[in-house]
Amino acid sequence: MALLATIGTVGFGAATAYLIPWCLLPDAIDADPDKPAGLYTAWMVLVQKIGIGVSIQLLGILLSLSGYRSVAEAGGALSYADQPESALITIRMCMGFIPAVLVALGLVVMRGWPERNSHNQAAMS
């Protein structure tokens, strides 16, 4: 039962991190009607792909620096690789703490985002 609760919590957090940028996209498109919507979408997808690639590379570098033992070092795919404490701490930081900080920073940035209807109301006045 605890495993299901953990999976649900992690899924909720990951879904939030993935959905926030897509929720902001219509606001960005509405704020600048002179540019085509596809331009914003293309840039957003490009930045996400670059971010995913860089983060995976960075994770690999951090794990190797922390002493992570790969499957090849453990003796094969079906072998259990006992990881050093430094590798376990790195995994916890990269999979929990760092993403939580980045989502919190994103929420702080979103607080400064103008409200959707405030632009339309100011134009009507």
**Which residues, 6 or more positions from 102, have their beta carbon under 8 angstroms from its beta carbon?**
17
Percent composition of the chain: helix, strand, coil (DSSP 3-state, to 5): 80, 0, 20
Cβ atoms of 90 and 61 closer than 8 Å: no
pLDDT for the residue numbered 120: 54
- pLDDT, tens digit only, all 125 positions of the chain: 888 988 888 888 778 778 878 888 888 888 888 888 888 889 989 999 999 999 999 999 999 999 998 877 777 666 677 889 999 999 999 988 998 898 888 888 878 777 756 555 555 55
Q: What is the pTM of this model?
A: 0.67
Which residue reads 């957090």 in tokens?
Answer: 13
